[in-house]
Structures are given as C-alpha cells and as structure tokens.
Chains A and B, each alone.
Chain A
Amino acid sequence: MNTLTYIARRLMFIAPQILGIVLVSFLLVKTIPGDPATLMLGPTATPQAITALRHEMGLDQPVLIQFGIYLRNLSKGDLGTSWQTTRPVLEDLLMRFPATLELVSAGLLTAILIGLPLGLVSAFRPKSWFARAVDFYSLGVGSLPDFWLALVLIFIFYTLLGIAPPPLGRIDLALTPPPQITGMYLIDTLLIWDLPAFRSSLSHLVLPVLALGLINAGPILKMTQSTVEKMLQSDFSRYEVLCGLPHNLVLRHALRNALPSILTIISVLYGFLIGGAVLIEIIFSWGGAGQYAVQGVLNSDLFPVLGFVLFSAIFSLTVYLIVDLIYFAIDPRLGN
C-alpha cells in the first residue's frame, strides 16, 4: 500500500518533468543555427520557395506558438515528421530506439559483470597485487574514450584476426532482419526461432558491447570498490569479524549494504548511455536512436531530436523509478 502510494506520487511528477524537459530542449534546438527550409530545398532554391516552405512548416511563427503546436500534436501521439527520412518520427524511433536499447543494455550488463566482481575483490583485499591491477585498469579505462577502444577492437578482431563481423550494422547484410516484434534482434530472432540470424546479430553485438562494457565498467568498479571498502571498515562489519563470521559472509553483508550506491551509479549510467553510446553507434553503423538524433541536430531536423529527448527522458525517469523501488526493497530503513 505504502509503495503503491509512492509510485502514484512519483508518476504524478513524471508529466511535468517531461514537459519541462521538452520545453527546454525545444528552445535549445531552436537556437541551433541553420534553417531546415534552406537545407531541404538545397543550394539552388529561390528565396520565394524558401519563404513559402517556411510558412508551410510554421517556421515563421513565434517560437512559443510553434511549441504550442508541437504540444498539441504530441497529445495526439504525433511526434512530427523527419524531413531527412520523410517518415513520422514516432515510427523511426520505434524502429531505432530498441536497437540502441539492446546495445546499451548489453553493454551495461557487461560493465556490471566486469566491474562488480573486480570491485568486490579489490575491496576485500585492498593491498594485494590484484587490487593494484584493478586500480590500474580503472584508471586506464577512465582515461580512454570508448570510440577509441572500439576502433582498436575492430582493428584487432576484424582487420587482423578476421574473427569479428565487419562493423556494418546489427546483422549480416545477406540475412533478412527479423520482423519487428520488440525491435531487439536478439529477442526477435529467438522469438521466430531463426538461429542463424540470432548468431549473426549476437556476433555483431560483441565488439560494440565489449567496447561499452570495458569502458563503463570503470565507474561501477570504482563505486563498488569504495563503498564496499567503506562498509568493510564500518563498525558492524568489524563486529561481524570479531564475532567470527566467515569472510565470505562478511563480504556478502558489506555488498548488500553497498548495493544502493552501486545501483545509483548503474541507473545514472543507463540513462546516460542512451545518448552517450552515439559514437559507438556511428562507428558500427548501428542505426540506433542516438545516431538518428545526432543526424537531426546536424541537419536542423527538429522533430527527431525532440522525439529522442522525449524517449530518453521517459526511459531515464522509468529507470530511476524502478531503482527507487529497489531501494525500498533492499533497505529496511527507507520503509516509512
């Protein structure tokens, strides 16, 4: 009951939060120099044609009026049309957002699988050579950009060794992509039980996911290490040791107490990566939502950008809500 009221209260705030985010990004996108009408009609267009198109697109109206129109359309489920793809933004995003989500989720999962155990072990044995190696690793990935690592991985595993597929999209060009069910190839190929397509999409995921995972394991590792170490030094862990509890139990308890902080960093990373993985998307020609939004920004294509902002805002807020609910589940002190 308590939790339900909490969810209801949180959901109530989501609408104004999203409205604010959309307003701010609308105004920001409007300040980007460049006129879509000029870009659409190309260098040979007459000024009259440009003026006519501007009028047709509503670009001659004051910004706030334009925003009002956008909101009205939004309430009908219309996110506008991209002039680059000439398709409704909603359709474009429903196709591309799952691609990004698949990439980012797998990347984050890899980062957790790398960062959490490494952080845990180095917190438990802070002066060992292993902990030193882990420190070196987190320092290293903290200073490397993910796109650079991606290029190195491509060079080694595709160019030199030839065991990775070329960085050209999400699935072998010779194969038909699965029909859109969830939009995530890994899941869709399994749903229609197309194993060659599944294998192909899996092998296409490996390098970008590895690049994202190896780099983003850094913050997760650091957070795990420092909070678990702090928990191990706290009075209750020391008392558990004084009471003769086994090391692995003491460590497990420390991890449980450190979990809220680790979850926080993971949820922040998740929201960030939706847009932050764009360079990886570009390098691997992923065709994801981040890439779509960046194209929009570069070409004054307003609606894809706003649509992307809207999607990722809803996504981030949902992730934060879920994480807050997990906090409630694991920390009894937050019960009231």
Chain B
Amino acid sequence: MQQRSVKEKEPRLRSSTVALRLNNLGVEFPTALGNPVVAIRDLSLEIDHGTILGLVGESGAGKTTLARSLLNLPPVPGRITSGECIFDGTDLRKLSEGEQRKRRGRDLSIIVPNPRSELNPMITVGDQIATRAEIHLKIDRAEAQARALEMLKKVQIPDPVRRMKAYPHELSGGMAQRVVIAMALVCSPQFVISDDASSGLDVTVQAQILRLMRELAMEQQSAMLFITRDIGIAAHFCDQVAVMYAGEIVEIGTRENIFLRPRHPYTIMLMAAFSHNAGLRAQWRRPDDQAAPRNSQGACSYASRCPLAQEACRSDHPHLRELALGHQARCHFPVERL
C-alpha cells in the first residue's frame, strides 16, 4: 500500500512502467437513421505495471465498449474511428490480424461477466483452459493440461482434479467465474481487463474472487483495468479510479483523491447514490434526472443532469484538466468542497 502511494507521487516521470497507453480512442455505433452514436469519445488512458485502475460508471457509459476496443474487437456493430493502443511499444491496431490474435489472451486478456454463458457448454472446463495455454504458449497438450490444473488450484476451486473434467453446466456461478479467471490468467498476461466480473455473485463469493484476482494479478506484476458499476468495490480494490460518463472519462485520479476529494459533480452523485444519506442524494441529483442525450456537441455531456450547471456548461465542452498531482477532472466548475 505504502509502496504504491509513493509511485503515485511521480506518475508521469516513470513512463517505462506504463503497461498500456490508450490515445484518443473513438468508437461509434452506426444507427439505422444515419447519425452514428458516439460510444467512446477521444479517450486517453495510461495504466502502469502492477497497478489496478478502476473504471466506474453507470450502464451505457461505454465501459464494456472500451474494454473490448482495447483488444480491437468492439462489440458488434461498433467501429473504432480513431486512436491508438500502445502496448509493449507498438500500436496494437497497426498489427496484422494474426499478430493481434496472438496477443489476445496471451498478453492482454479479458475476464467477462456471466461466465456460465461465456464457457463453451460442450467442452470440459479443463480442456477449455488448456486449449488457450496450448495455443498461446505453444506447449504440448499434457503440459497445457498440467498448467490448467495448476490454474484451477490457484483460483481455489475445490477438488480441482475432478473439476478439470466438469462441463460448464455442472458448475455454480462462482465456480464458473473462477474458471473464467483461470482461463484469462493461464498465459500470465501483462494486462488484464476485468469487465464487471464480480457482478452477479453473492457478496462473500465476490470478496473472495476480488481478493483472488488481485493476488494473481500482483503476483504476475500485471496491470489491470477493473471495470465495475459498484463504486464501493472500486474504493476497496483499486489503486487508481477513473469515472466514465457518456463515453468520456470525467474524473480520474488516485483512489485517495477520488474518494476523499471528488471534484466532478457526477462522481459525487455516484457516491451519493451509494450512501445512506438521503439528503446528500437529493442535493446531488436533479429532480428531473434522466439519461443524457448523446452527441451533445459543444456542451458538457453532463450539463443536462448536473445540479450545478451554468451557462458555460451548455455552450462549451470541458477538457480533462489536471487539478492536482494525479487528479484530473472534466468540469468547468470543479467542486471545491463537499
């Protein structure tokens, strides 16, 4: 913990520790009417080795689109319109399809939610994990099987030898989630995306799985993008937190900065929504609150929902500004004090 906060003091200086850098990513979804919906707008990110970056935001903010676009596989029918994804010194999007495929699952892997439907129902769990190891690490079947078994032990599945031969339908949700984690980590990737992987589990299992993911990621010195809708989990689990709204990062910073000194009204509203203080909730939420219209060019995308919105917010799109060391917010009038 101590060690990590030291690193936060000088985030820009040690650029060699950056595991993945995303520059100006834009993703659009075509619509029948012609005007595409902008799902991700000009988004830049950096994640260091050995760091967990939490990404929070409500449904539809573009979290999953971002996760899959990092692998250059945006959800169908989405289309990446701009940006580069620098990993290991190269822009992933400039690589050939085959080279990209080799890196997916080996260097960058993703842990998905709803694991029961993400596993092939006709193939045993052990084979599914082993296949990934066999293909990516170019090892023989027996070795891959051994590695799969080792992975199942690491994710603390009870009776791993027997579970190797289990089919996905024979597993509980929590066990299936562990299998997906084992699958994502079997090649020791340097960058792991967890896309809402803890949702749908009950709280005790969730805590176990989170601890497990953290231990495994730290053990391999991987960087992790941890996507969640639960700001409470982000507060417990992540080193850095980014808050996403309408396809943009509206606030990003160290965990301490975000949770102790939130500056963006949306971040505060999200936190208020999780608090038990009804007065606080009412203060940070407009009575006519509803999903914001997309493509609000020339305005802050949160302006229509923001209780503090002023004239400038409706006419001028704010940029992400550095408010303090390791703390940026996209707001014309960042909140000074709660």
Contacts and interface: CB of A to CB of B under 8 A. Distances in A.
Contacts, number: 68
Interface secondary structure of A, over-half rule = helix
Interface stretch (A27-35, A44-52, A326-334): A326-334
12 contacts: A233-B76, A235-B117, A235-B118, A236-B117, A242-B110, A244-B105, A244-B136, A253-B123, A330-B122, A331-B121, A331-B122, A332-B169
A41 interface: no
Nearest to B109: A243
Interface string B105-144: 1100110101001111111100000011001100000000
Interface residues of A, number: 22
B122 A242 contact: no
B198 to A, nearest CB: 17
B9 interface: no
How many chain B residues sit at the interface, stated as a range, is 20 to 34
A245 B169 contact: no
B319 interface: no
B211 interface: no
Interface of B: 68, 71, 73, 76, 101-106, 109-110, 112, 114, 117-124, 131-132, 135-136, 167, 169, 183-184
Given A235-B114, A249-B131, A332-B167, A243 B120 contact: no
B121 A242 contact: no
Interface in A278-313: none
B119 A236 contact: yes
Contacts of A241: 73, 104
A77 interface: no
A205 to B, nearest CB: 36
Nearest to A237: B120
Nearest to A236: B120
Given A333-B167, A333-B169, A244 B122 contact: no
Contacts of A239: 112, 118-119
Given A242-B112, A332-B169, 17 more contacts: A235-B114, A235-B118, A236-B117, A239-B112, A239-B118, A242-B71, A242-B110, A243-B104, A243-B105, A243-B110, A244-B106, A244-B132, A245-B105, A245-B132, A253-B120, A257-B120, A257-B122
A72 interface: no
Contacts of B112: 235, 239, 242
3 pairs of A and B residues whose beta carbons are closest in the complex: A244-B104, A244-B105, A243-B105
A124 to B, nearest CB: 14
B117 A243 contact: no
B135 A240 contact: no
Nearest to B67: A242
Contacts of B68: 242
Interface string A313-336: 000000000000000001111000
A282 B150 CA distance: 65
Given A236-B117, A244-B136, A245-B105, A332 B131 contact: no
A61 interface: no
A155 B14 CA distance: 80
Greatest chain A CB density within 10 A among B118, B121, B131 is at B118
Contacts of A234: 117
A259 to B, nearest CB: 9
B102 A244 contact: yes
Contacts of A62: none
Interface in A195-252: 233-246, 249
Contact of B121 (A243, A246, A257): A257
Contacts of A244: 101-106, 132, 135-136
A242 to B, nearest CB: 5
A10 interface: no
Contacts of B114: 235
Nearest to B106: A244
A256 B184 CA distance: 23
Nearest to A245: B135
A240 B73 CA distance: 12
A240 B169 CA distance: 18
Contacts of B76: 233
B100 to A, nearest CB: 8
Contacts of B122: 253, 256-257, 330-332
Given A235-B114, A236-B121, A257-B122, A242 B105 contact: yes
B120 A242 contact: no
A148 to B, nearest CB: 40
Contacts of A249: 131, 135
B186 to A, nearest CB: 10
Contacts of A233: 76
A332 B101 CA distance: 29
A330 B103 CA distance: 32
Contacts of A332: 121-122, 124, 167, 169
Greatest chain B CB density within 10 A among A241, A242, A243 is at A243
Nearest to B112: A239
